[in-house]
Amino acid sequence: MSDSVNKRIQIINVAVFCTILLAGGIASLAMKHKTVSEMENRKLAQFPAYSDSTLWSGKYFRNIEMYYADNFPLRDKWIKASASFRDKLGFQSSEIKMYDPTNDAEANENADTVKNETTNGGPLPDDGATGEVKKRVFVFKNRAFEMFGGGEAMGKSYANVINSYNKLLSPAIQVYNLIIPVALEFEITEKYAKLQKPNRPAIENIYNNEDANIKKVWAIDEIRKHRGEYIYFNTDHHWTSLGAYYAYRAFCQTAGLTPVSLDTVASKVKPVFLGSLYRLTRDAGLQKNPDSVRYYLFRDSVNFFIGSNKIGYWNKSKMYAEGATGTNSYSVFLQGDLPVVKMETLHKNGRKIAVVKESYGNAFAPFLVNNYEKVIVVDQRYYTGDFIAMLKAEGINELLFINNIFAAHTPFHIDKIKGLKR
């Protein structure tokens, strides 16, 4: 090939490369920029404001770099393509990590239909299905599962904190404790049984270390009876409202209440929900098996209030965030993880309960409006007011601690619960 032809090809290559850069730059400037990535469930970097201090520290140009990285054209499609390519090549994690104490993991319409229901307490028989571990998540049958492995000492620490409230508040306030199992407890097969510790012995360890007059709710046993139903999401770490309902039924049995029948309750559904475990793994099988978020519209007239750290301050609002969509669909319950909310009903039975919870409790708490005159819900992670004084001011006579089994074995949550009691 002659020098003139080589030179011509080089010029064409440079021209094409510069054209692509120029087109990408123009598209990046002209396109409508998002402020939030639904796929990653996070805020995207915004163009930084100039200042001499950020310029000379180098932070200004680093922030510009982050801005362009978060806002290049067709970014979400490139990310999806990359995840699909890696999935086809078989990239996966070989690390099987049963429990990470720093993990605070804290909806396409799916019918609430029954699969092959099994009511025994152990793993399901091996059916030949294979799974893999991706980023500390077990992906199995186009579903994603967290793997529990908390120890006895941590469970005892959780029990001791609950005991401290009981000693302070009893007998004026009846204390309950409800530990929520993870989905894998009900879906794991014999082949993968060693991936996590069985949940029931861990829950039993907590309950055995609690004061005798604390009422323990065996939600795990009631949920297990319905293990073939749509009780946990496919792509998210939370339970569905149906799973929360079965825990509510177990609570009613412990508290001497009559649970509402779902046959009498209307509901709405948020479709096409790809949750936290999909965003973590980007697994193609999960993407093809999206969830739905169902929430129930109770007949009882409910006044819903959002509170603050100031005792007695309540701002009237709505129990459900009807506008929640997409990756935020689970936030429909109680408008998400608010520090404190209150529900007042037409019941005049004198029963007033406070619920201390993490995000699993959001789907559970609305069911209590069917049985209580007043329900106050406190998120242990965010409430910083005088909790004990608030209980007294609101006339609370029952107190429920409801946490998923990870939270009950995580120092972060244990410390947050303890911190409510000043």
Structure confidence by residue, pLDDT tens digits, 107-150: 344 444 334 434 457 899 999 999 999 999 999 999 999 999 99
Average pLDDT of span 376-388: 97
Q: What does each C-alpha distance from 253 to 25, 215, 369 come to in angstroms? A: 63, 11, 16
Residues 227, 356, single domain; the answer is: yes
Coil, strand or helix at 41 = coil
What is the reported pLDDT for 149?
A: 94
Percent of the chain topping pLDDT 70: 77
Say if 29 falls within a structural domain: yes
What is the reported pLDDT for 105?
A: 39
Say if 48 falls within a structural domain: yes
From 321, 325, 363, select the one nearest 178 (Cα to Cα).
Answer: 363
Residues 247, 383, single domain; the answer is: yes
Residue scoring higher pLDDT (340 or 52): 340
DSSP code string of 381-404: TT--S-HHHHHHHTT--EEEEEEE
From 360, 117, 155, select the one nearest 377 (Cα to Cα).
Answer: 360
- Look at residue 86 and tell me whether its pLDDT is greater than 80: no
Its pTM stands at 0.77
Residues 53, 183, single domain; the answer is: no
What is the reported pLDDT for 6?
A: 74
Average pLDDT of span 368-387: 97
Say if 92 falls within a structural domain: no
Among the three residues 46, 68, 87, which one is the final residue of a domain in this structure? 87
- Look at residue 161 and tell me whether its pLDDT is greater than 80: yes
Say if 402 falls within a structural domain: yes
Sign of CA dihedral 188, 191, 195, 198: positive
Q: Which domain holds residue 414?
A: 137-420
Count of beta carbons in the 10 Å neighbourhood of residue 273: 27
Beta bridge partners of 305: 316, 342
What is the reported pLDDT for 79?
A: 54
